[in-house]
Chains A and B, each alone.
Chain A
């Protein structure tokens, strides 16, 4: 069975600082990996995805993520955080029958001005 772990429930960074959100997955085959962001009371917005190929993927809003098979990780990074990045971030693995997504528990990002 596939699973996703996001070890950090809350992270606080200063505006302009770099950011790394951790994600570890468990999946038998090559995983399909996603990062979504959710602002309060809103739906989920897809930031980026990894299916195959280059292990460093670029997404929207200046985010990137690196797939590391040896560490079963897909960490999300941003070199300089903006106050508007404050939100909940979900890592997810797909490929379950019916295009099911398995989500991590999420990381709440707070940005200090």
Chain B
């Protein structure tokens, strides 16, 4: 089973709201990722977690706060977002996140379509 699940599928929030996106995988993967994807563009990496520790933050604004409660779960907490943050947010996982140049294939979830009003 190569499934990554994400909830909710759609989310509409105001600029003063606090909400969370959730991601789950049961493949025993030890690396998980958050991406942001705008329309007609490739995904942009936001965060990488390796063995439940944040290993890469691609200079993401602090209004996005990731959390990895355990090896199967990844959350993205949202607060005081801007309309330009409206996008498809994708979660992915891989067996590992190597830092010596090797690559592992990443498996993506279906995404959460976020609209900030």
Residues of A within 8 A of B (CB): 29, 32, 34, 36, 41-46, 49, 51, 90, 94-95, 97-101, 103-106
Contacts and interface: CB of A to CB of B under 8 A. Distances in A.
A41 B103 contact: no
7 contacts: A42-B111, A43-B4, A43-B110, A45-B108, A46-B106, A94-B105, A101-B106
B8 interface: no
A43 B108 contact: yes
A46 B107 CA distance: 7
Contacts, number: 67
A106 B101 contact: no
Given A43-B108, A103-B42, 13 more contacts: A34-B105, A41-B111, A42-B110, A44-B43, A44-B90, A94-B105, A95-B101, A98-B55, A98-B98, A99-B97, A99-B104, A100-B56, A106-B40
Most chain B beta-carbon contacts within 10 A, residue among A101, A103, A104: A101
B45 A100 contact: yes
A13 B97 CA distance: 37
Interface residues of B, number: 32
Most chain B beta-carbon contacts within 10 A, residue among A98, A99, A101: A99
Nearest to A99: B97
Contacts of A51: 103
Interface in B14-52: 31, 40-43, 45, 48, 50
Most chain B beta-carbon contacts within 10 A, residue among A41, A43, A94, A95: A43
Given A41-B88, A42-B110, A49 B42 contact: no
Given A98-B56, A98-B99, A43 B111 contact: yes
B84 to A, nearest CB: 20
Given A41-B88, A51-B103, A99 B96 contact: yes
Contact of B42 (A29, A34, A99, A106): A106
Contacts of B94: 99
Nearest to B9: A41
